[in-house]
Structure 1
Amino acid sequence: MRELWNLLLFHPLINSLIALYKVTGNLGWAIIILTVILRLAMTPLILPSLKLGKKMQELAPELAKLKEKFTGNKQGLALAQAELYKQHGANPAAGCLPQIIQLVVLIALFSALNSVLKPNGAGLVEHLNPLLYSFNRLDSDFHLSTKFLYLDLTKPDVSRVPSIPIPIPGIFLLLSAFVQLISSKMMLPVVNREKKLAQKTPQASDDAMVDAQQQMLYLFPLMTLVIGFQFPSGLVIYWFIFSAVSIIQQYYATGWGGLTPWLKKIHR
Structure 2
Amino acid sequence: MANFEFIKVDREGPVTTVTLNRPEVMNSLHSPANMELDRAFDEFAADPYQWVAIITGAGERAFSAGNDLKFQAAGGDMTLPKSGFAGLGSRFDLNKPVIAAVNGLAMGGGFEVALACDIIIASESATFSLPEPTVGLAALGGGLHRLPRAIGTQRAMEMVLTSRRVTAQEGQALGFVNRVTAPEALMETALEVARTICRASPMAIRASKEALFLGLEDSLASAIEKQWEYPAMLALLSSEDLIEGPKAFAEKRAPNWKGR
**TM-score, length-normalised on structure 1?**
0.25
Higher strand share: 2
**TM-score, length-normalised on structure 2?**
0.26
Greater relative contact order: 1 or 2 (C-alpha under 8 angstroms, separation 6 or more)? 1
Tell which structure's C-alpha radius of gyration is larger: 1
Higher helix share: 1
